[in-house]
Structure 1
Amino acid sequence: MSCNLKRKLCVEAEPATDSSPPPTAKRRKLENQQRHRTPSSFWDNLSRLWLTPRALREFDRRTVWPAAPVPPERTGKEDIDLVQLKRFARHGGPSLDHLRAYPEPETAAPSNRMMDSSQSGSRKRAKISDTSSKTRKSSAYDPNFEQHLINNGIYPHGYDHGDDNGSVYPDNWEEINEMLAQPRPSLSPSRFPREAFRKFEKTNMQALTENRVMSKAFPIIAGTVDIPSQENLYFGNLKHLTDGSITKAKPDFYDGSRPVELDKHIREELGPYIVPSTNTAAPCLPNFFTEAKGPNGSAPVCKLQAMYDGALGARGVHELRSYVGQETPFDNKAYTITSTYHGGTGDLTIYSTHPTPSNDPQNPIEYRITQLRGWKMTDIPETFRQGAGALRNARDWAKEKREELITAANGKVPDTEHSDLVSSTQSFVSLSSNEPIHPESDTSADELALNIDTFACSSRRTPVRHRMNPPSKAPSNRRVKKAAIGINKRSGMGSGGS
C-alpha cells in the first residue's frame, strides 16, 4: 500500500475517535437537552416512576457507561476490507498516542446502572452538564406530574386513600351542589332560545385551538358579570406548592378580588400565598379557576392543571382564614372551585378543593379535589343551560366567600399606625434631653422641646392652640445648646422658662 493511500485512510478515520469534538449541530442539540432537563430532586422524590422519554433520558444521564476499548494497532499492510474498516472506525480508529501533545484517554470503570443522582454521565455528557445551569421543571404534560402531586399531599378526585375517614368530600358538598342547581334568569328559554344554543354550537365547533376556545366559546358559558378576572396570568409571585421542581401555575382563567379591597398590611404579610402575580394590579386571593383545551388537547392534562390551580387557591384561602384567627381553620369545607372545559367533546366539569390536616410532618396540609357536577355543553339546549348556570353560580358563590373572608380579615388588622407614631415620638423626646421638659410659654428658650411636644399632641389627633409666632423651622441641636448655655450664664437657671 502506498504512503499516500495510508495517509488518506488515517485522515478519514481520525474524525471517528473520541478526541475529536462532535459536530456543532449535534453538540448544540445535546447542550439544549441538558439545559432543559428536569431537576434531579423531581425524580428522586417520586414513589412511582412512569417510563417516559424524559425518564429514559434522565436514566441515560445518570448512567456511567464503560469506556470504549482501545483498538489494536495496525502494523501490517493487509488488504483493505470495508467491513473491518467500518468496525475499526467504530472502535475509535487508529491510535494517536505517538502524536505530540495528544492527551491520554480517560478510562472509566464499569459500575452498576442503578438510577442514582450522585452518578455522573459519560465523558461527553459530563462535559456538557458542567457548562449548563438551567433546568426545565416538570409540568402537567409529564405523566409523572400527578404522582409528584400525590407524593406531596395533593390528591385527585377518586384517589383511594385506604383509610377513608369521611374527609374526602367536603362537609358543604351538598350545599355547593344545591347552589349550582339554582336557575339563572339570563338562561331562561325566553332569553336564551334554541337559536342562541345553535350559535354556541357553531362557535365551539369553529374553535380549533385552546386560545379560540377561551376567547370565543368559553365567554358564552361564563356570561358577563362584574367580577375581577384574568386570563393566562403567570403565578410567579406565589410560594412553591411542593419542592420547587415543578413549574408555577398559569391558569387559563381565574377570578379574584381587587387588591384595594384587602388591607395593605395583609397583602404584604400573606403576599406569597394570596397575591399571585408580581403585577400588583392583578386580582388577588383567587378561588375560582378554569382550565380549557382545544379539540386536540389532552383532557387528563387539563384535569391536572385544574388540580394544581385548586390546591394553590385553597392554600391561599386557608392562610387568610388562619390570619383571621378562627379556632378551627380546618373546618373540612371547600371555599375554592375549579372547572375544566374541553372544546372537542364539549365536556364541562366543576370541582371543589379543600384542605385537611395531615400526619406527614413534611406536608402538614393535604388538599383534596372532589368532583361536583359535569355536563356535555353541546348536547341539548337544556343541558347547556344547566351547565352554564352552574358555572355562573359558582363564580358568584366564590366571590361571596372572598368578600366575607376579606371583611373578616380587614377587621383583624391592628391599628399599628397610631401606636408606632406615639412610641417613636416618646423615644425622640427621651433622647433629646435627660431632664423633664415642661414648656411654660410661647417664649420658652427650649423651642425644640416645644416643637416636639406639639408634634406629640398632633399625633394624638387632639386640637392644639395656635401659637402667636411659631418658628419657621426647628433649630438645630447646636443652636439650642448655645441658647441654653447663654441662659445659664445670665440667670443661673436650667433650661426651663425665660
Structure 2
Amino acid sequence: MTSSPMADDRTQNDSAPTSLGWSTADLQPRSPSETKCKAWNYPPEFYDRLSKISLTHLALKELNRRTRSRRPQLPAYPSAIHSQDLVRFARHGGPDLTDLRGYPYPPIDCPHPVAMSGRPSRSQKAQSTDPASTLPTTTKTTKTKETRTRKSTPYNRDFDVHLTDHHIRPLSLRKPDVKEIEAMSAVPRPSLTPSMFSEGAFEAFQESDTRARDEDEVMANVIPTLLGQGQASRNSARNTTFRTLAPLTDGTIVAAQPDIYWGAYPRQLAPPARNKLADHIAPSTMLDKPMVPNVFLEVKGPHGSGGVAIQQVRYDGAIGARGMHSLQNYGREEEQYDGKPYTFSFTYQNGMLKKYGHYMTAPITEGGQPEYYMGQINAYAVTGDRDGFAKGASDLRNTLDLAETYRDKFIEDANTRAAQARTVTGRCHTTTGIPPTEESADALAPTPRYDTNQAKHEEESPEELAFSPSQDPSGIKQSTSFTSSFGSYQSRSKRQCSPGSQVAGGRVSKARLPALREDRHQ
C-alpha cells in the first residue's frame, strides 16, 4: 500500500515524532511517483504453478520475456562451398529484385515486442494515414510505458488463483457461528452517544470523507474519527511489510503490507514461545512493533479498487489466522482446530466499512495444508447518518477490544505451558545430575506487561467524555486527535522496549472478559 508507515523501518532522524505524534516523514508531502505502486514482477515459477493463468498485463509481460528468450539463433556462417555457389549465382545477375521496387523500409524492431496484437484502434488507424505519424515518438512511448509500469501491482486475477491453489479460500457465504462476536460488537460506546458525538461532529466527518481525494487523505482525515481518541496508541503499526514471516504459500508472491494492523507487545509473550513461533507471529525484527497481528485495516481512496482491498484482507487475514492458530497450539501434543474466528479485518472505501472474520480448519487430506476461510460479518454505511456512523465505529472499536481479549488469553496459556516446560526440564536435569543451564536473574524475573486497560480506557476517559467545542463543524480537527496519540505510543514503546526489558517472564495477567464495561451503560 502507499500510505505512510506508522512505525516503519526508517532512521531515527526521519522518524522523529512531532508535537502531533506522527513522525516528520509521515507528515511530509510525497511526490506523485512515491504514491504510485512500484512495478512488481512475479518469478517464472509463479506462473508455472498456477492452475489457470488469466490474461493480465503481468502475464503478458512474462510471455514476452519467454518469447524473447526462445528466439531462434542466427544461422552459422556459410561454408566455403556455399560461398562458391553464391558467387556463381551472383555472376549470372543474382535474384530478380523487381518486386522490391517501391517497397517501404521494414519497421524498427521494438526492444519489447507485444506478445499479442489485437485489432488496431481508431487512433492507430488515424496515425497510419498521417505521414507525420511515421516519425519516431520516443518521448510519448516512454511516458506511456512508465505509466503502465506504475500501474503493475501484484494484486490481480492470477494472485487470486494463486491463493485459491494454496487453500486460502475466497470470500464465501460459509462462516462460523458469530453470534457472540456480533453481540460483543454491537455494545454501544459512551463516546459515540449523541451527547458526546453530536450531529455537527458527524457533518464534519461527512465533509472530510467527501473532500478526501486519495488514500492518504482518507487515512489522515477519515480513519482517525472512526477509531476515536486513544485507539491509535494501542499496539498498532502502519504500512509494515511482513518480511520476517514464513511464506504463507510458496514464496513467489509479495509479502503482505497492511495499512494498519493491531497486535500484542513482544514482551507479553515468554521468550521460549516467542522464539519458537517467531516466523508465524513476528512480522518485524523491530522490538517496538506489535506481534501476533489479528486485526487488519485496508483503506482505498475514492478511485481505488475494492477488489484489490478484498484480496489484501484475504491475504492479511490468513496470515493472522495462522499466527493465532500457532499461538493457540503452542506446547500442545496434538494440533487442534476449533473453526472459530480469532482474526478480523476491515476495509474502508467511499463511506462503506466492511468487517470480515478469518479462521482455519483441518486439512482435507492427510498430510495436506490447512484450509483458510474468510467470511463477511457485517457492513456499515458510516457516511449516511449519525446512527450508521455510531454503529460502524462501535463495531470497529469493540472488535479491537475483543481481538485483544483473544490474544491475551492465548498468550497467557502459552506462557503457562512455557513455564511448565521449563519446570519439567529443570526436574530432568536434577534427576540426571546435570546442572541446569545458567540464566540471568533478569531473564527469570517476570516483567510487568503493558497495562492494556489503560489504552482501552483512554478513549473514554473523563476528559474525552466532557463536552468539547471541537465537536462542532467549525472547530473539529480529526487528524489532530489521531496523530497526537501517536506520540504517546512511540515514546512509551521506546521506553518500555529498551534492551534491558525485552525478556519477559512467564507471568501474564489474566485475560480480561470481553469488553462489557459498566461505563458503557452509563
TM-score by length of 1: 0.62
3-state DSSP class of the match of 1:419?
A: helix
Question: What are the ranges of 5 or more consecutive residues in structure 2 without an aligned counterpart?
Answer: 1-38, 77-85, 110-115, 117-149, 445-522
Q: Is the 8 A contact 2:227 2:393 kept in 1?
A: yes
State which of 305, 316, 319 in structure 2 corresponds to 1:309.
316
Amino acid at match of 1:412: R
CA distance 1:328–1:268, shift in 2 (3 Å):
closer
Do structure 1's residue 220 and structure 2's residue 239 form an aligned pair?
Answer: no
1:279 CA displacement: 1.2
2:49 matched to 1:45?
Answer: yes
1:284 pairs with 2:291: yes
Q: Answer yes or no: is the 8 Å Cα contact 1:255–1:286 preserved in 2.
A: yes
Q: Secondary structure, in 3 states, of the residue corresponding to 1:155?
A: coil
> Which ranges of structure 1 fall in alignment gaps of 5 or more residues?
1-34, 92-112, 114-135, 160-167, 430-454, 462-498
1:148 aligns to 2:162 (yes or no): yes
Secondary structure at 1:412's aligned position in 2? helix
Q: Which moved more, 1:381-390 or 1:74-83?
A: 74-83
- Residue number in structure 2 paired with 1:394: 399
How far residue 59 of structure 1 moved from its aligned partner, in angstroms, is 2.1
Q: How does 1:263-302 map to 2 (within 5 A)?
A: 263-302=270-309
Alignment of 1:410-425 (within 5 A): 410-413=415-418, 414-415=421-422, 419=426
SS of 1:281 mapped into structure 2? coil
- Helix, strand or coil: the match of 1:154? coil
| Residue 105 (structure 2) aligned to one of 86, 95, 99 | 86
Q: CA deviation at 1:139?
A: 5.7
Deviations 1:189-208 (A, max 9, x none): 11111101111111122222
Matched, 1:339 2:346: yes
Residue matched to 1:110: none
Q: Could you tell me how far apart the structure 1 residues matched to 2:98 and 2:335 are? A: 88
CA distance in 2, matches of 1:268, 1:424: 27
Tell me the distance in 1 between the aligned counterparts of 2:97 and 2:361.
Answer: 78
Q: Please show how residues 159-174 of structure 1 align to structure 2 within 5 Å.
A: 168-171=174-177, 173-174=178-179
CA contact (8 A) 1:346 1:377 kept: yes
Query: CA 1:404 to 1:207, structure 2 compared with 1: closer, same or farther past 3 Å?
Result: same
Q: In 2, distance between residues paired with 1:193 and 1:82?
A: 83
User: What's the CA shift for 1:38?
Assistant: 1.6
Q: Is the 8 A contact 1:152 1:363 kept in 2?
A: no
* Whole-Å separation in 2 of the counterparts to 1:211 and 1:66: 49
Structure 1 residue 332, shift from structure 2 partner: 1.2
Between the aligned partners of 2:430 and 2:409, the Cα distance in structure 1 is 34
1:158 aligns with 2:172: yes
SS in 2 for 1:86: coil
Give runs of aligned pairs for residues 87-486 of structure 1, distance below 5 A: 87=106, 140-158=154-172, 168-171=174-177, 173-223=178-228, 224-225=230-231, 227-325=234-332, 329-342=336-349, 345-360=350-365, 363-413=368-418, 414-415=421-422, 419=426
Deviations 1:346-368 (CA, angstroms, capped at 9, x unpaired): 11000000001122467421110
Secondary structure at 2:405's aligned position in 1?
helix
In 2: Cα distance, 1:313 partner to 1:78 partner: 71
Tell me the number of residue pairs that the alignment of Structure 1 and Structure 2 aligns.
341
Whether the 8 Å CA contact 2:40–2:153 is kept in 1: the answer is no
CA distance in 2, matches of 1:41, 1:205: 43
Matched residue type, 1:47 = S
Query: Which residue identity lines up with residue 253 of structure 2 in the other structure?
Result: I
- Which structure would you say has the larger RCO, counting Cα contacts within 8 Å and 6 or more residues apart? 2
| C-alpha separation in 2, matches of 1:273 and 1:81 | 68
Counterpart Cα distance in 1 of 2:274 and 2:435: 30
1:38-83 deviation per Cα after TM superposition (whole angstroms, max 9, x unaligned): 212211221222111221222233343556899x998669799664
Local SS of the residue matching 1:61: helix
The CA distance in 2 between the partners of 1:338 and 1:405, in whole Å, is 19
Distance 1:362 1:251, change over 3 A: farther
> Quick one: distance in 1 between partners of 2:217 and 2:315?
23
Distance 1:62-1:403 versus aligned 2 partners, 3 A rule: same
Inter-partner Cα distance in structure 2 for 1:398 and 1:319? 16
